[in-house]
Amino acid sequence: MSTNDEIPLSTVIGKLNNPQLNVDDAVKRISILLKRRKSGGRYDIRSELAHGGMGYIHTAFDQDLRRISAMKVISPHLVNEDQKLLSFIEEARLTAHLEHPNIVPVHEIGLIENYGTPYYTMKLVEGEALHEIILKISKSEKGYQDTYNRHKLLDIFRKVCDAVAYAHSRDVIHRDIKPENIMIGQFGEVLLMDWGLAKYTGVRETSTAGDSSQNIFSGLRDAELDYKNTMDGVIKGSLAYISPEQAFGDLSQIDNQSDIFLLGSTLYHMLTLSPPYFGKDINAVLDRAEKCDYMAPSQKNPAAQIPLALERIILKAMSPLKKHRYASVNDLLSDLDAFISGKRVCGRKLFSPGQKIIQFGDVSRETYIIISGKVDVTRMVGDKEFKVAELGHGEIIGEMAGITYQARSATVTALDATEVLIITQELMMEELEKLPPWMEKIVFSLADRVRIMGGHIHPLMLKNRAFPIMSQLYYIFRAKQDSENNGIYSIDNLIEEVTMNLGIDRNSVRKVIHTLIGHQMLSEKKNIIDMTNVKDFGLFVEYCRYKFDIKGGVLNIEELKMTPDLVSFFRHVLRSLRENKDTQTNISLIDTKGSMFLDDDN
């Protein structure tokens, strides 16, 4: 036999029955062993914590387990009302049925000796109700705004959602979720309290088992939960949060999605510091609730700067029509977790080869993350277009326009079929708002500096870099030749010298030097660089000046007095430099008027 349900009741009683045991004596002996200091039962009832229409909550010292518990006792004037008694018992049973870290645990149900009044005990939560915390935040009480920042409040709300999701998985709806019924413990505990209006929604199978769901929830009657009877106190205090179906008293329509509406209302209050509905009296509030007439969170409290993504979560949860609300608490949590973790995008888009993703000068604000494919990034300087970079999977493009509010500084074109994730400016700003204020300022400051620096292109990036590199080499070796101190350059030292003087990348300098070594215009022996013929190298520099159409210099091509063989040699070297794209420009000049190198035959 696997369960006690399968054991005949007579067998159980037979095992417990002991004809030699005097029950009264046993009770006295146990009481002595437990060392109860006060007579009258297990609990020493102490101060009152709260009271409502159904009863009172006291602190009670458990003499047997030596701990303080919370004890809920039904009001004395309701003891003779069977339906009220039954509802009280079902509340205890239903709460005990929900064993979850964010739901207050029930310890025991029983009768107070000498009074015959039913009670149940539960964990005593030492802390504050969430609505009290929100009130103190709104009053800017010391420490509360820093302790309960947006991240902390969202963490609290998430735990409440966990509790409700668990209850729904057990076919129980709360129906009275609000900040007043959420307790925050001294050590970060979050507990959803007061399941007095909760309802079991599952299918109840007929069973003779003593602990079946049929018997656990058999006493709960919706007739007692008349939402139109506001004076009865059933929904008193909840009107500021309720869903339209609750406001209309349509009990058949109150279900899991009604709890989702209440969760949205609770988050609304947490972020705006005010409940959704207000009015001069109960009827005015009910009228607003029936119409779902509440201000958008961002309008309710503009100073709170509620991120648009959070507002969307609230508005979806609080939709007047159920079909527009979240289908489940887990769906709500999915969006909330996406917001908290920053894993949110606003969609995907596929671009075909040659299609412009971003256009220079445009004022669009989207940022893109490349999922697949490749793109060209180009910039316009005058009438010429420069290739800045070629980017692929995982690269981010267009982020500067979203942060700095400036027009697009480059054009991005799909090279292959390219799929991107789209991040809107709103989403970008929301994620930046999650950063500490100092970090957010650093990001904006860096973005602005990058934008300014990006507007200035090094002059040598706009033209062939082979010429200035060769000119610099000529000056270095000419000075070396004229100097009494005949310096020696290793290839690394020479590259460093040219790079420092020109402010351009080492790779370009290295490529030019190796090309010149290949044509024996420079010589290399044991890593030491020298210039084969300084005079001829000077002529080659002037020849390149003419061929590159670079203004300046004191000689024209006719005055160079070069032999045909030397011209042929220079043309050959120049062709090698031309074929070496790394010596042209870091950003691959695209000249609409033709190649930046003059044709060798001209």
For residues 235 and 275, membership in a common domain is answered with: yes
d(CA 502, CA 458): 10
| pLDDT of 589 strictly over 50 | no
The letter for the amino acid at 292 is: C
pLDDT in tens, 416-426: 999 988 887 77
Query: Does the pLDDT at position 340 exceed 70?
Result: yes
Query: Based on the domain organization, do 177 and 311 belong to the same domain?
Result: yes
173 or 466, which is more confident: 173
The Cα–Cα gap between 523 and 514 comes to: 10
Encode pLDDT of 81-112 as tens digits. Answer: 888 888 888 889 999 999 999 999 999 998 88
pTM over 0.75, yes/no: no
Among 45-49, 161-165, 331-335, 373-377, where is mean pLDDT lowest?
45-49
The CATH number of residue 380's host domain is 2.60.120.10
19 in a domain, yes or no?
Answer: no
- Min mean pLDDT across 46-60, 89-103, 188-202, 556-570 is at 556-570
Query: What per-residue confidence (pLDDT) applies to 586?
Result: 36
Q: Do 406 and 471 belong to one domain? A: no
How confident is the model at residue 409, as a pLDDT?
78
Contact 168, 198 (CB under 8 A): no
Q: How many domains does the chain have?
A: 4
Same domain, 276 and 407: no
Choose the weakest-confidence range: 12-21, 137-146, 208-217, 420-429: 208-217
Least confident of 179-183, 210-214, 489-493, 562-566: 210-214
pLDDT of residue 552: 64
**Percent of the residues in the chain that have a pLDDT greater than 90, as a whole number:** 29
Does 276 fall in a domain?
A: yes
pLDDT band at 434 (very low <50, low <70, confident <90, very high): low
Q: Which two tokens stand for residue 334?
A: 């999915």
Model confidence band, residue 313 (pLDDT cutoffs 50, 70, 90): very high
* DSSP state string for 167-232: HHHTTEE-S--SGGGEEEETTS-EEE---TT-EE-S-------TT-HHHHSTT--GGG--TT-GGG
Q: What are the start-end ranges of the E strands in 63-133?
A: 67-74, 106-112, 117-123, 127-129
Whether 10 shows a pLDDT value over 80: the answer reads: no
229 in the same domain as 259: yes
Question: How sure is the predictor about 551, in pLDDT bands with cuts at 50, 70 and 90?
Answer: low
Tell me which of 308 and 119 has the higher pLDDT.
Answer: 119
Do 317 and 223 share a domain, yes or no? yes
DSSP output for 329-388 = HHHHHHHHHHHHHT---S-EEEE-TT-EEE-TT-----EEEEEES-EEEEEEETTEEEEE
Same domain assignment for residues 293 and 152? yes
Mean pLDDT taken over the chain? 79
Contact 592, 385 (CB under 8 A): yes
Confidence tier at 467 by pLDDT (50, 70, 90)? confident
- Coil, strand, or helix at residue 106? strand
Produce one character per residue of 234-247: b if its CB has 16 or more CB atoms within 10 Å, e if not. Answer: bbeebbbbbbbbbb
Distance CA 467, CA 508 (A): 11
Binned at pLDDT 50, 70 and 90, residue 595 comes out as: very low
pLDDT at residue 465, as a whole number: 75
Torsion angle, alpha carbons of 233, 238, 244, 249, to 10? -10
Which residue, 323, 344, 365, sits at the end of a domain?
Answer: 344
Domain holding 530: CATH number? 1.10.10.10
Dist. CA 423–CA 397, nearest whole Å: 10
CA angle 392, 395, 398 (to 5 degrees): 115
Q: Which residues, listed in sequence order, are joined to residue 57 by a DSSP beta bridge?
A: 50, 72
Residue 374 belongs to domain spanning: 348-454
Assess whether pLDDT exceeds 50 at residue 234: no
Domain shared by 133 and 151, yes or no: yes
The residue among 344, 367, 382 that closes a domain is 344
Q: What is the spatial distance between Cα 411 and Cα 418, in angstroms, rounded to a whole number?
A: 15
What is the pLDDT, as a whole number, of residue 458?
A: 54
When pLDDT is cut at 50, 70 and 90, the band that residue 580 belongs to is low
Neighbouring C-beta atoms of residue 115, cutoff 10 Å: 13
479 within domain boundaries: yes
Q: What are phi and psi of 413, to 5 degrees?
A: -120, 135
**Predicted confidence (pLDDT) per residue in 523-537, tens digit:** 988 888 889 888 889
Is the pLDDT at 235 greater than 60, yes or no?
no
β-bridge mates for residue 423, sequence order: 367
Across 222-240, average pLDDT: 45
The verdict on residue 209 lying in a domain is no
243-254 average pLDDT score: 88
Span of 105-109, 253-257, 482-486, 594-598 with lowest mean pLDDT: 594-598
Mark whether 101 and 158 lie in a shared domain: no
What pLDDT is recorded for position 252? Answer: 85
Q: Over range 424-443, report the average pLDDT.
A: 71
Which H helix or E strand runs over 259?
Answer: helix 256-272
CATH of the domain at 63: 3.30.200.20
Q: What's the one-letter identity of residue 164? A: V
* Residue at 391 is within a domain: yes
Last residue of a domain, one of 344, 362, 383: 344
d(CA 315, CA 426): 17
Domain contains 21: no
Residue 336 lies in a domain: yes
* pLDDT tens profile 184-207: 998 889 999 988 888 888 765 443
477 contacts 530 by C-beta, under 8 angstroms: yes
Q: Are residues 63 and 146 in the same domain?
A: no
Q: 41, 113 in Cβ contact below 8 A?
A: yes
The answer to whether position 541 is within a domain reads yes
| Mean pLDDT value across residues 24-37 | 73
> Residue 41: which region, alpha, beta or left (left: phi > 0; alpha: psi -120 to 50)?
left
DSSP summary character for residue 461: G
Predicted local distance difference test score (pLDDT) of residue 402: 67
Highest mean pLDDT out of 209-218, 367-376, 473-482: 367-376
* 363 and 395 inside one domain: yes
CA–CA gap between residue 433 and residue 307 (Å, rounded): 8
- Other CB atoms within a 10 A radius of the CB of residue 188 amount to 11
pLDDT for res 457: 52
Give pLDDT, residue 557.
61
Verify that 528 and 543 share a domain, yes or no: yes
